A and B are shown apart, each in its own frame.
Chain A
Amino acid sequence: MKAIKITVNGRTHEAGIDSRRTLLDFIRDTLNLTGTKKGCDHGQCGACTVIVNGRRINSCLSLALSHDGDEVTTVEGLAEGDELHPLQRAFIDHDAFQCGFCTPGQLCSAAALLGEFREGLPSAVSGSHTPFVEEIRERMSGNLCRCGAYNHIVDAIAAVAGEKR
């Protein structure tokens, strides 16, 4: 067991954990924050996406011990009290999910994406002639949706990102 201190959604947690525990299992099983989902557990589906120090990562491919001192935001941390995050509102307005299993990962990914736009980080398709929806599709390629709600997910993100860009 090793001791770590991680801040999740503004609250600091100290815990002794097995070295094998991933950040995902730490969030779900140690902290009981089950919004973050375990889909493939191999970094392929994006359901486990959380935001660490402002950057989105696959929490399933990261050891909790590697995040000592880090600040993590999960889907539970997006809303402010009862006030939904604009992306959450947009996902509802655009009917951007069916079963909802991938949604927490989609939301965290999209929330970090807004920050990447603000920072001016490039993507593989960035260019003056790239349609905005193509930018979003490329940047969201790490989040799979087996219900196939992609079109509405892209619409929802575009609606929010368009205003903020």
Chain B
Amino acid sequence: MKPFDYHRLASEEALGKMEAGRYLAGGTNLIDLMKHQIETPDALVDVTRAGMDTITETDGGLMVGSQVTNTDLASHPAVRRDYPVLSSALLSGATQQLRNKATTGGNFLQRTRCQYFYDTTRACNKRAPGSGCDALEGLNRYHAILGASEHCIAVHPSDMAVAMAALDAVVHTRKRDGETRAIPATELHRLPGDRPDIDHVLEDGELITSVELPVRPPRLQAYRKVRDRASYAFAVVSAAVALDVDDGRMRNVRIALGGVAHKPWRASRAEEMLEGQQPSAELFDRAMDAEMAEAKGQGHNDFKIRLAPRTVVAVLRDLTEVTENDE
């Protein structure tokens, strides 16, 4: 690691008086990136002891401090009861050791695990803007099929963020001048475009302070992760689904995909086709076919174009108990 100064933030309010620096939370990704010298901050500001580590039940919702660990969030009784898709997504990620250290805010802001981003001898527009993208002609089995650009086909690695996107969670931030804002989880990350070096919409020095889980989430929820081994592997494809079924019709349908794009991918087109309709396998297929209309493979990851919709359809069938077989 390159030398850096280390400071500790005492409270949210002290942010304005703090030295500038890269925020350090659990460090499970940032410290690793610093060892690889992919991240070389001059200073770190440790935000783990600034009082942002509690979960508060609000009027029907939940306010989660950004420094709540993945373990504590996944294990919280209210999360397990009302937001099982989130608990399930968190538990499907990483290992117990990492979940014990990784935080809610840090999980959102972790960087891609694209091997060309990690390999400093290779071209990567995310790590070294303008250098090119070796993944395009390289090993791209894990890469994006939706929303990618000619500059970057990396995917966001988080499971948690996929569930947060499906739940319409809201990310609360604070800037150094004290200004606060609320960002929908679905809008926190950006697509690569011609600036893949920028992962998210946060400004320099803007800190995630908490994440708000909405009141009355849909009752039926599930997270399914497809991966190359049963534990401790990033998703090849994952799906977070939440919906209600009232009087035989689907309501509040929310579908988010992981492992397919530079951000958690809300399947808005499919959601619209399902909303208010009666569940059926044929409709599920049609909705996801529509969602995947613009999907584009890079060679090794072509299989995701079929795997992603099938994963969603399987979850939808489970949740709505549709057993008919149309194949």
Q: Which residues of A contact B (CB under 8 A)?
A: 2, 18-20, 22, 41-43, 46, 49, 55-58, 61-63, 65-66, 109, 112-113, 116, 119, 121-124, 126, 137-139, 141-142
Contacts and interface: CB of A to CB of B under 8 A. Distances in A.
A109 B95 CA distance: 11
B32 A121 contact: no
Given A43-B32, A58-B98, A61-B101, A122 B80 contact: yes
Contacts of A142: 94-98, 232
A9 B80 CA distance: 34
Contacts of A121: 71, 75
A35 B51 CA distance: 34
A42 B95 CA distance: 13
B97 A46 contact: yes
Contacts of B104: none
B100 A57 contact: yes
Given A122-B75, A142-B97, 8 more contacts: A19-B5, A42-B32, A56-B97, A57-B98, A58-B28, A61-B27, A122-B91, A142-B232
Contacts of B28: 43, 58, 61
A61 B46 CA distance: 14
B6 interface: yes
B14 interface: no
Interface residues of B, number: 33
B97 A124 contact: no
B35 A41 contact: yes
B231 interface: yes
Contacts of A112: 96
8 contacts: A2-B6, A19-B44, A43-B98, A63-B24, A112-B96, A121-B75, A139-B96, A142-B232
Interface of B: 1, 3-6, 24, 27-28, 31-32, 35, 44, 46, 48, 69, 71, 74-75, 80, 87-88, 91-92, 94-98, 100-101, 230-232
A113 B97 CA distance: 10
Nearest to B89: A124
User: Which of B3, B31, B44, B71 has the largest number of chain A CB atoms within 10 A?
Assistant: B31
A116 B1 CA distance: 33
Contacts of B87: 122
A53 to B, nearest CB: 10
Pairs of residues from A and B, 4 with the lowest C-beta to C-beta distance, nearest first: A142-B95, A141-B231, A124-B91, A19-B6
Contacts of B95: 46, 141-142
A57 to B, nearest CB: 5
Contacts of B91: 122-124, 126
A137 B5 contact: no
Contacts of B101: 57-58, 61-62
A42 B173 CA distance: 29
A70 to B, nearest CB: 11
A63 B71 contact: no
Given A109-B96, A141-B231, A63 B88 contact: no
A112 B97 CA distance: 10
B92 A66 contact: no
A55 B24 contact: no
